[in-house]
Structure 1
Amino acid sequence: MQKGKRHHGSHETRAAILAAHLDRPMGVLGVAFRLVVLGQLLCAMESSTDYLAAIHEATMATITGSGITSTDAFSKSLQLVLAMYSVVSFATLAGSLGAFFLQSQVEGKRGVNASRH
């Protein structure tokens, strides 16, 4: 039974390593794809007439939360969605960093307590 567990754990480790390698480039491509699609939507809904300016505005709205210059209903709703996305992304990053440092702190205390006993 031990061999089965070890083999199962090895399979999970390989899957995790594969997922980590695939996650980085695919995540970057996914974000770039979304920004291009959002720029195309701005042009398709006639919120912007210049395609490159639409991609620039969608990107800046996603990253910095700056406003989209057009004032129609679609661009306002897109700006709201992008603002929520940027807040959630920043909060996730901050939470991940906080959890990392708290975990390091807890592990350090466990090491000190273990050496005392």
Structure 2
Amino acid sequence: MSASRVCALSALEQDTALRVEVDGVPIAVVLDSAGEVHAIGDVCTHGDISLSDGFVDGDTLECWAHGSAFSLRTGKPLNLPAYEPVPVYAVTIDGDDVLIDPTVTKEA
């Protein structure tokens, strides 16, 4: 599979997560305060909650329901109650297009 356009770069708000779905895979896309775009699995591994409804702080995304924060770079949980990581996807920027392939995960 090749990468799919998920949104326009100009549509992303800094320090806010946007939920997208590519071939049935829910993904949270985040433009962090440093201007880097990240894509991680949108489902909290603790409570089956959408992470894109959570809070962005630096390079972390915190689940609004139980407070588990996940690294946007590695997908690893940084605190309990979550202890399983979420997938992290490679992001390609082509002009104003944000492209993600949900079959290709980044190595931590």
TM-score of the superposed pair, with normalisation by structure 1: 0.23
Highest Rg: 1 or 2?
A: 1
TM-score, L = length of structure 2: 0.24
Instruction: Please identify which structure carries the higher helix content.
Output: 1
Structure 1 or 2: larger strand share? Answer: 2
Higher relative contact order (CA 8 A, sep 6+): 2
